[in-house]
Amino acid sequence: MDQENTQAAVKPEKKPIIFSGIQPSGTLTLGNYIGALRNWVTLQDQYDCIYCIVDEHAITVRQNPAELRRRCLELAAIYIASGIDPARSLIYCQSHVSAHAELAWILNCFTYMGELSRMTQFKAKSAAHADNINAGLFTYPVLMAADILLYQTNLVPVGVDQKQHLEICRDIAMRFNGVYGDVFTIPEGYIPKTGAKIMSLQEPQKKMSKSDPEETYIAILDEPDAIRRKIKRAVTDSDGEIRFDPENKPGVSNLLSIISALGGGEINAVCAELQGQGYGKLKERATDCVIAALDPLHAEFKRLIADKGYLQGVIDENAEKAAYLANKTLRKVQKKVGFAARGERK
Ligand code: ATP
Ligand code: LTN
């Protein structure tokens, strides 16, 4: 084999790219874990993964600065404690890579007011924060599109609530490519089969969300006693039958989804097994599954959060690598839209 062939043989195969992010806007919930995080871990083998801490998205809702800063490092620790390996996957803060905001500006000019006004998350968040309906909340999906498109992402693993945002990202990318040629890879969504939407424990018609009151969600870092208490108080219904029927029995169906998503068996099998045993048993089973899934993560989180220097090192180093990749796309886009060339100063 000649030298050229030898090099070709050892050159690592380029894997498809994954990008996803979570906002450091509150304590992560079981919904974030089941709908997003735990899938991110398994995808690391087949993909080059980029997992961002999207702090710029978080400030679309007013945040306490000290808490936001603390939560960013905590989120890095949770990513790693869940099994994301910072030596293989990029873990960094969105605000440390300025290309995100720069591309978002350009993409704003390729996005229509009409399409943004149709976003259900915008409608829900502007109803929830009627005193602060800011332009960032409105253009939130454009920044998200920039996040994804900067890395020529192939696949975006998210919960089902983000489907509409992915659609608009694809539309913006196709519109841009239609004008300037193939600049962006068109990404696909990756939505888990079970657990794509874990519901609130108190209002099971609503998604479990980290910005809602404490008793409505299980936090990833909740101790077993809190998990037991919250599931015990979870809203069910009065007919006593263990059956999967999200429309008519949202509370019971939610507990079944949680059990099944956490490896407690197929939903039908769980229903058959617990038939006639009452909601107490169903809640016990859900509690056991949640504690077993989250327990290993707690110890690792405590170890990591005690070592702030290490966490800072991870996000610093990975932000540099991310910026290198992101700037390649950004420069191409800037050139395409006609921004002046950057002269190399001698
Ligand atoms: P917020 O309540 O502050 O808007 P959130 O809890 O919805 O936040 P995000 O940071 O917006 O969390 O979402 C991070 C990831 O978690 C996304 O992929 C989202 O789809 C997923 N996710 C959030 N909540 C759930 C849920 N209840 N069930 C399944 N997946 C979820
Ligand atoms: N909007 C997402 C968080 C997010 C995201 C992204 C997810 C911001 N940028 C890029 C996937 C890809 C949410 O979950 N609320």
Q: What CATH number should be reported for the domain holding residue 17?
A: 3.40.50.620
For the chain, the domain total comes to: 2
Tell me, what's the pLDDT at 87?
Answer: 95
Q: Which of 244, 236, 198, 197 is nearest to 218 (CA)?
A: 198
Question: Does pLDDT of 320 surpass 80?
Answer: yes
Q: Which of 54, 78, 4 is nearest to 156 (CA)?
A: 54
Do 110 and 68 fall within a single domain? yes
For 164-200, write each residue's pLDDT tens digit.
Answer: 999 999 999 999 999 999 999 999 999 988 778 999 9
Tell me, what's the pLDDT at 194?
Answer: 75
Is any atom of ligand 2 closer than 6 Å to the C-beta of 23?
A: yes
Question: Does pLDDT of 154 surpass 80?
Answer: yes
Question: Does pLDDT of 286 surpass 90?
Answer: yes
Structural domain harbouring 99: 12-190+308-337
Question: Taking residues 268-274, what's their average pLDDT?
Answer: 95
* Residue at 104 is within a domain: yes
Tell me, what's the pLDDT at 343?
Answer: 83
pLDDT band (50, 70, 90) for residue 1: very low
Do 185 and 223 fall within a single domain? no
pLDDT band (50, 70, 90) for residue 210: confident
**Coil, strand, or helix at residue 217?**
coil
Q: CB burial class (10 A; 0-12, 13-18, 19+) of residue 55?
A: buried
Do 313 and 297 fall within a single domain? no
* Residue at 195 is within a domain: no
What value does the mean pLDDT of the chain take? 94
Do 186 and 295 fall within a single domain? no
* Residue at 239 is within a domain: yes
| C-alpha torsion sign, points 176, 177, 178, 181 | positive
**Candidates 11, 123, 125, 328; catalytic one:** 125
Is any atom of ligand 2 closer than 6 Å to the C-beta of 57?
A: yes
Q: What is the CATH number of the domain that holds 264?
A: 1.10.240.10
Say if CB 153 and CB 58 are below 8 A apart. no
Cα 10 to averaged position of ligand 2 atoms, centre (Å) = 35
Structure tokens at 146: 């920039």
Catalytic annotation present for 207: yes
Question: Taking residues 266-293, what's their average pLDDT?
Answer: 95
Catalytic annotation present for 210: yes
d(CA 300, CA 84): 12
Which of 20, 29, 32, 290 has the most ligand 1 atoms within 8 A of CB, as the residue to mutate? 32
Do 106 and 231 fall within a single domain? no
d(CA 286, CA 275): 15
pLDDT band (50, 70, 90) for residue 151: very high
Ligand 1 atom with least separation from CA of 207: 27
Do 44 and 184 fall within a single domain? yes
Say if CB 146 and CB 321 are below 8 A apart. no
For 43-101, write each residue's pLDDT tens digit.
Answer: 999 999 999 999 999 999 999 999 999 999 999 999 999 999 999 999 999 999 999 99
Where do the H-state alpha helices sit in the chain? 3-10, 30-32, 38-43, 55-58, 65-82, 99-108, 113-117, 120-128, 135-150, 163-180, 224-232, 250-261, 267-274, 278-305, 308-337
Residue nearest to atom 11 of ligand 2 (CA): 20
Is any atom of ligand 2 closer than 6 Å to the C-beta of 155?
A: no
Do 225 and 241 fall within a single domain? yes
**Candidates 11, 163, 193, 207; catalytic one:** 207
Q: Beta strand 155-157 with 188-190: parallel, antiparallel or unpaired?
A: parallel
Do 153 and 186 fall within a single domain? yes
Question: Does pLDDT of 318 surpass 50?
Answer: yes
Do 162 and 233 fall within a single domain? no
Cα 87 to averaged position of ligand 1 atoms, centre (Å) = 25
Ligand 1 atom with least separation from CA of 157: 18
d(CA 70, CA 154): 31
- Considering the chain, what percentage of its residues have pLDDT values greater than 90? 88
Tell me, what's the pLDDT at 3?
Answer: 45
Of 307 and 345, the structure prediction assigns the larger pLDDT to 307
Ligand 2 atom with least separation from CA of 143: 9
Q: Residues near ligand 1 with C-beta < 6 Å?
A: 22-23, 25-26, 29, 31-32, 34-36, 158-159, 161-162, 196-198, 207-211
d(CA 191, CA 125): 22
Do 127 and 21 fall within a single domain? yes
For 118-150, write each residue's pLDDT tens digit.
Answer: 999 999 999 988 999 999 999 999 999 999 999
